[in-house]
Amino acid sequence: MFKWDPCGLVCVAMIYFLIAYADYVILIWMLLPTFGHSIWTVIHGFVFNSLLITTLIAHTRAMTSDPGVVPISQSKVQKPPHHHNDEFSSDEDEESDEEAAFRRDHFNRPSATEWTMCTRCDSLRPPRAHHCRVCKRCIRKMDHHCPWVNNCVGEYNQKWFLQFIFYVGASSVYSLFILCLCWVYHDAYGTTGLKGPLGENIYHAKVIHSVMLAMESALFGLFVLAVSCDQLGAIFTDETAIEACQRRGRNYLSSSRRPRNSKVAMMKQVCGPGPKLLWLVPCATPQKSQPRYLRTHQQLAHFDV
């Protein structure tokens, strides 16, 4: 799923460089000159590097995982006919509560009942799938294409994207905390002090590195805070950014038709039904079973990836 998009590759390279630079400043210019080889250097260095490693793992998963690419159909198949409620009556006893809730919440939307043929990538799109001009494919429940992960954020990799922005925010906050802590305990006669053995140039270099890291942490912290609010709002309302734009443009979704599931239930649809602690761990998400009415539609067409 790796994309050779120039903008995305530049953004990914910037992320790797900024993470390496933050680790360099924290260890070389902050912790070691302030605390030396004490236990505090080990503790703060371990915590900060753990956050950075987890950030890289979540970023890699979000960048290389399938966001929900719709397979390309072998031939242009007409849109499956609309199924009436009486067609599902024979299976109501076997339908689970989750499937019934999904059908009740989503099939109230006009766009959620329509299977369409994409004229750009020649794929039969399921409900709520959209075409990405960068990836040149249709993505299931596509939210947006993010250049920072060089991939689309869709149904299957949204968890990794949430983890990535969460750990970027946590790393930014912790780096600001270490900066403040090290300047509080700054020794003017130390190795990086103004009156230290290495002179004023080292002190000025420490000041410059501190300012640069503080700006980096503040900017990325505010950025991921804004993105987190958008992502959580989209999850809790079960409405992607593209669907929100369509709703404002077409005005087809009223407030009475919004899903009534709890916020925890909506988060489970994205992060998995396991323990909530695993929501923060970049591990594999359990594969959720597809609702029966989606499987019925997919049986009407044959795909060739």
pLDDT confidence band for 91 (50 / 70 / 90) = very low
Token digits of residue 190 = 């130390």
CA atoms within 13 A on the CB side of 271: 24
CB atoms within 10 A of CB 46: 10
* 15-24, 67-76, 248-257: the lowest-pLDDT one: 248-257
Query: Per-residue pLDDT tens for 233-264?
Result: 888 888 887 777 777 655 544 444 455 678 88
Q: Which pLDDT value is given to residue 260?
A: 62
| Average confidence score pLDDT of the chain | 79
pLDDT confidence band for 266 (50 / 70 / 90) = confident
The catalytic residues are 146
Q: Which pLDDT value is given to residue 249?
A: 58
Q: Which pLDDT value is given to residue 16?
A: 97
Q: What letter would DSSP give residue 155? A: T
Entry pTM: 0.77
Which of 282, 40, 260, 16 is CA-nearest to residue 149? 16
Is the predicted pLDDT of residue 175 greater than 90, yes or no? Answer: yes
Query: Per-residue pLDDT tens for 25-55?
Result: 999 999 999 998 899 999 999 999 999 999 9
Q: Where are the domains of the chain?
A: 6-72+129-250+258-266
Cα-based angle 134, 155, 233 (whole degrees, multiple of 5):
100
Is the predicted pLDDT of residue 99 greater than 60, yes or no? Answer: no
d(CA 152, CA 9): 14
pLDDT confidence band for 97 (50 / 70 / 90) = low
d(CA 175, CA 183): 12
